[in-house]
């Protein structure tokens, strides 16, 4: 569930091009990967 939510948020941020959210999303994705 959490992965799906983060993934959809990441796509929305990429499509809308919001750099301030992109850093936060990247940090979250990095934590999930590690």
Confidence at residue 24, expressed as pLDDT on a 0 to 100 scale: 82
**Residue 34 DSSP code:** -
Domain membership of residue 6 as a residue range: 2-33
Q: What is the 3-state secondary structure (H, E, C) of 2-25?
A: HHHHHHHHHHHHHHHCCHHHHHHH
Per-residue pLDDT reduced to its tens digit, 1-34: 566 777 777 777 677 766 667 778 788 788 887 7
Helix axes 19-33, 2-16, angle to 10 degrees: 150
- What pLDDT sits at residue 18? 65
- Structure tokens, 17: 């091009």
pLDDT in the model for residue 12: 73
pLDDT of residue 2: 66
Task: Count structural domains, the chain.
Answer: 1
Radius of gyration of the chain (CA): 9
């Amino acid at each position: 569930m959490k992965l799906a939510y983060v993934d959809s948020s990441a796509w929305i941020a990429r499509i809308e091009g919001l750099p301030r959210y992109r850093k936060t999303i990247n940090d979250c994705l990095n934590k999930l990967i590690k």
